[in-house]
């Protein structure tokens, strides 16, 4: 077995061997993975590039069709406006004259369009040509001497009657279709493989053709593959260099460290036993202190949570009271009507049933109010996508009665319908808390025409909910303290936990932001969350 004399050799050899093995394994897996990925990426690169080239053909073809449609509509509109003006001035024009004029206009337009088409170029050797549905050549930048020629029986380099295929593909596919064929390439003697896209302009019976030579595509693909291969080779060389440099560095560092370790090892061993005893005593004391600190922190957290729940419960009871006040008055009125009717012997069966039905409706409304408050304060367990408008409307609905009783106006402006992912009920509680804080300030300061405005809007990639009031704002010397637990600006009944809990919900549970500022004579709270 090893002894203390073998320790320096072990310190030097062990890291070098471990790093060498680790480096060799990394190199092997890295190189193997890179070249395996190179093959897959090459195939994918080729597919993506060909698909991209096909999209170029399709887009160029569409540009030509759009150009034809646009100018055709413009010219026909001009003719229509001209005849309409003549008709209004009393000049009578026959339909034959109109048709002849339109035909002349379109014939002139065709000449202009053909000149434009023959000038179109794209990519390396891309151009546009046109046949009509009877296989006659209409436009071609390199076959101008064959314009009007019947290409029905013309073939490509393989002997296929390619122009018949062009017309058939354009007729059979409303959106156009692709076709591979062999055709003469400018400045080259032998025909080259080509990918074409054919689409039909039904109005003129023109088949618009766009194409790209495959050797141009293959050349570009080869260059991209070559760049990718060079990149991978560069990565492999860098990894090899780093691995060997690391092996040398670790060996050198291990040698230097081993000399110092042997020197201090003896003195450390003598002091270990003494320090172990001292450490045991220290650990005992530290464990006692940690347990005491944990118990104290747990008590504070429980007290904080309990206080927050009590505050929410008080707000909830207050809002329920406001929601119930009117239906209770109406129920009292029903009992008074029943008592009066009974006193004067007018409480017949229909009257009692009608009054009972009204009473049941009010009781159902009160029961639903309890259900709404219970669901509102029920904590959500999983994140879900929800509407900010719906969450704000729930909060406003719960606060509406208490706001109405204080003659406070609340306006909701939804500038954009937005959604976010998170906890709907807790988000609604935050909005409700901001509304109730604004209400308390407006009452406390006896503001004339008290108003609260809630705005839902978008800001870059964020959804924003703004709650503002006209209550005079927050003093600048305390505006940075309002989120501290137990800090409250209310003269009474304030726990100082509402804004603290609201900030925790928005920033920790929903990865958002809650900020405040003074604007337009009041406080302005802004909630920002990511919209989906």
Confidence of residue 366 (pLDDT cuts 50, 70, 90): low
DSSP string of 51-77?
HHHHHHHHHHHHHHHHHHHHHHHHHHH
Mean pLDDT of all residues belonging to the chain? 80
Each residue of 235-256: pLDDT tens digit? 777 877 877 787 777 767 766 7
Assess if residue 520 is contained within a domain.
yes
The pLDDT tens digits for 476-497 are 888 888 887 767 776 555 556 6
Confidence of residue 460 (pLDDT cuts 50, 70, 90): confident
DSSP string for residues in 287-308: HHHHHHHHHHHHHHHHHHHHHH
Give yes or no for a contact between 175 and 199, defined as CB atoms under 8 angstroms apart.
yes
Of 61 and 340, more confident:
61
Contact 236, 30 (CB under 8 A): yes
CATH number of the domain residue 518 falls in: 3.30.565.10
Q: What percent of the chain has pLDDT over 70?
A: 78
Residue 409 belongs to a domain: yes
Percent share of the chain, pLDDT over 90: 21
Residue 459 lies in a domain: yes
Q: What is the DSSP letter of 144?
A: G
Residue 442 within a domain = yes
Do 438 and 469 contact (CB within 8 A), yes or no? yes
Residue 157 resides in a domain: no
Cα of 440 vs its chain's centroid, Å? 37
Closest CA to 327 of 370, 384, 297, 296: 370
Is 463 in contact with 414 (CB distance < 8 Å)? Answer: no
Name the token pair of 40: 């897959």
Establish if 224 belongs to a structural domain. no
519: in domain:
yes
Quote the CA–CA distance of 104 and 121 in Å, as a whole number.
29
Four-point Cα dihedral 303, 308, 312, 314, nearest 10 = 50
Burial class (CB in 10 A: 0-12, 13-18, 19+), 411: exposed
Task: Outline where 173-213 has alpha helix (H).
Answer: none
Token pair, residue 127, equals: 């151009």
pLDDT in tens, 182-196: 877 766 667 778 889
pLDDT given at position 316 = 61
- Total number of residues shown for the chain: 532
Measured CA angle at 404 (ends 400, 408), to 5 deg: 100
Q: Distance (Å, rounded) from C-alpha 410 to C-alpha 396? A: 8
Q: What six digits make up the tokens of 523? A: 């406080």
Domain that holds residue 454: 380-530
Q: How many domains does the chain have?
A: 1
Q: Which residue did the predictor score with more confidence, 13 or 280?
A: 280
Answer yes or no: pTM beyond 0.75: no
Which helix (H) or strand (E) segment holds residue 106: the answer is: helix 95-119
Q: Is 39 exposed, middle or buried (0-12, 13-18, 19+ CB in 10 A)?
A: exposed
Question: Model confidence at 84, in pLDDT bands (50, 70, 90)?
Answer: confident
Does residue 98 lie in a domain region? no
Cross-strand partners of 121 = 127
């Amino acid at each position: 077995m090893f002894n203390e004399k073998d320790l320096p050799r072990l310190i030097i050899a062990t890291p070098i061997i471990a790093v060498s093995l680790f480096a060799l394994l990394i190199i092997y897996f890295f190189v193997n993975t890179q070249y395996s990925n190179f093959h897959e990426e090459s195939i994918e690169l080729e597919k993506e590039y060909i698909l991209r080239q096909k999209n170029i053909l399709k887009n160029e073809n569409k540009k030509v069709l759009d150009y034809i449609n646009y100018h055709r509509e413009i010219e026909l509109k001009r003719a229509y406006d001209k005849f309409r003006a003549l008709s209004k001035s009393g000049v009578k024009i026959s339909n034959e004259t109109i048709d002849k004029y339109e035909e002349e206009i379109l014939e002139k337009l065709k000449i202009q369009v053909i000149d434009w088409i023959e000038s179109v170029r794209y990519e390396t050797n891309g151009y546009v040509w046109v046949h009509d549905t009877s296989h006659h050549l209409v436009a071609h930048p390199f076959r101008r001497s064959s314009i009007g020629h019947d290409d029905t029986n013309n073939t490509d380099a393989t002997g296929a009657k390619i122009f018949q295929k062009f017309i058939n593909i354009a007729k059979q596919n409303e959106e156009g279709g692709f076709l591979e064929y062999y055709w003469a390439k400018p400045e080259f003697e032998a025909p080259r493989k080509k990918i074409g896209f054919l689409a039909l302009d039904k109005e003129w019976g023109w088949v618009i053709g766009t194409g790209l030579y495959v050797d141009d595509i293959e050349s570009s693909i080869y260059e991209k593959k070559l760049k990718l291969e060079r990149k991978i080779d560069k990565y492999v060389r860098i990894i090899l260099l780093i691995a060997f440099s690391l092996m040398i560095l670790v060996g050198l560092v291990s040698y230097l460290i081993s000399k110092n370790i042997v020197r201090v090892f003896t003195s450390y061993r003598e002091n270990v036993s003494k320090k172990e005893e001292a450490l045991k005593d220290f650990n005992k004391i530290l464990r006692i202190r940690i347990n005491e600190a944990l118990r104290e922190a747990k008590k504070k957290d429980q007290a904080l949570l309990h206080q927050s729940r009590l505050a929410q419960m008080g707000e909830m009871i207050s809002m329920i009271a406001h929601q119930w006040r009117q239906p209770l008055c109406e129920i009292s009125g029903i009992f008074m009507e029943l008592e009066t009717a009974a006193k004067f012997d007018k409480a017949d069966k229909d009257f009692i049933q009608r009054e009972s039905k009204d009473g049941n409706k009010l009781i159902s409304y009160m029961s639903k109010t309890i259900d709404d408050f219970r669901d509102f304060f029920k904590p959500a367990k999983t994140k879900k996508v929800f509407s900010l408008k719906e969450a704000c409307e729930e909060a406003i609905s719960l606060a509406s009665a208490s706001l109405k009783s204080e003659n406070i106006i609340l306006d909701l402006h939804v500038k954009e319908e937005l959604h976010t992912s998170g906890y709907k009920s807790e988000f609604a509680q935050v909005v409700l808390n901001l509304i109730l804080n604004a209400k308390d300030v407006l009452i406390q300061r006896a503001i004339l025409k008290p108003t609260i405005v809630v705005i839902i809007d978008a800001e870059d990639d964020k959804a924003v909910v703004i709650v503002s009031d006209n209550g005079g704002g927050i003093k600048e010397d305390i505006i940075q303290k309002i989120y501290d637990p137990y800090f409250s600006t209310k003269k009474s009944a304030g726990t100082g936990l509402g804004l603290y809990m609201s900030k925790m919900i928005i920033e920790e549970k929903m990865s958002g932001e809650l900020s405040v500022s003074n604007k337009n004579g009041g406080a302005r709270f802004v909630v920002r969350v990511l919209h989906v």
